[in-house]
């Protein structure tokens, strides 16, 4: 499979990944906004429970960033959609993420790489921080207590946002709050009241939180 060039319009491309083809969607900034030299790679929730790059939380996060002039990339991990391979419990998925990140850095030199993810995607993107050294990280409903949370070898960036619903029925919110407080350099934590794991009826609020909290991280627009 040939390596595609970065598209000039929002579209989907196929990359050659560690387990075969990887399906990657590129969402360019909205035309009314000044484009920023930032590309954000957003990861989806658990593959074996129906997670994909079309998840509503993932697409809303992408929209929030596009409105700020950020180029957003969503991907289907191995075994999801048109991506080849099989679910690998977060291990192979880190390799998938690294593959796409390397392509982005080659295609968009001079752009900051931001990582983000929802639920399982938050886990994968955080685990990948040590190897990829992103400029910023957005963790939405990180599944603390449901996976291996031994992050001794991981170095999250200074610009790190965690968003957690206080009524999450899948991930115990207090466990996330305690975990955040225990970090050597705690991230910015936004606690969303009356909000469940999948942000039902709170997606617009999520969009607002992301836009408000990361706006000051943005570099100057591209010329």
Sheet containing 38-43: order of strands? 11-17, 20-27, 71-75, 38-43, 112-118, 136-140, 160-165, 188-192
Q: Rounded distance, CA 60 to CA 19, Å?
A: 28
Per-residue pLDDT tens for 62-85?
A: 999 999 999 999 999 999 999 999
- What pLDDT is stored for residue 153 in this prediction? 46
Q: Which CATH class is domain 38-213?
A: alpha beta
The answer on pLDDT for 98 being more than 90 is yes
The answer on pLDDT for 30 being more than 90 is no
User: Strand, helix or coil at 90?
Assistant: coil
Lowest mean pLDDT among 124-128, 145-149, 155-159, 202-206: 145-149
Helix (H), strand (E) at residue 96 = helix 91-107
The answer on pLDDT for 152 being more than 70 is no
Percent of the chain having pLDDT more than 90? 86
Give the residue extent of every domain in the chain: 38-213
pTM above 0.85, yes or no: yes
């Amino acid at each position: 499979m040939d390596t595609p060039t970065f598209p000039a319009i929002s579209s989907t491309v196929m990359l050659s990944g560690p387990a075969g083809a990887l399906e990657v969607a590129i969402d360019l900034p909205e035309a009314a906004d000044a484009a920023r030299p930032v590309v954000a790679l957003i990861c989806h929730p658990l593959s074996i429970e129906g997670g994909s790059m079309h998840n509503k939380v993932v697409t809303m996060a992408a929209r929030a960033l596009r409105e700020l002039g950020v180029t957003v990339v969503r991907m289907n991990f191995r075994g999801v959609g048109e991506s080849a391979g099989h679910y690998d419990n977060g291990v192979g998925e880190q390799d998938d993420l690294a593959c796409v990140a390397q392509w982005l850095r080659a295609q968009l030199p001079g752009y900051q790489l931001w990582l983000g993810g929802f639920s399982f995607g938050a886990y994968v993107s955080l685990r990948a921080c040590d190897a990829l050294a992103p400029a910023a990280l957005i963790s939405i409903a990180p599944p603390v207590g449901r996976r291996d949370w031994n992050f001794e070898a991981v170095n999250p960036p200074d610009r790190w946002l965690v968003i957690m619903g206080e009524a999450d029925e899948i991930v115990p919110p207090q466990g996330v709050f305690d975990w955040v407080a225990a970090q050597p350099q705690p991230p910015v934590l936004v606690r969303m009241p009356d909000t469940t794991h999948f942000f039902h009826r709170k997606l617009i609020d999520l969009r607002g939180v992301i836009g408000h909290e990361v706006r000051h991280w943005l570099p100057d627009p591209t010329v």
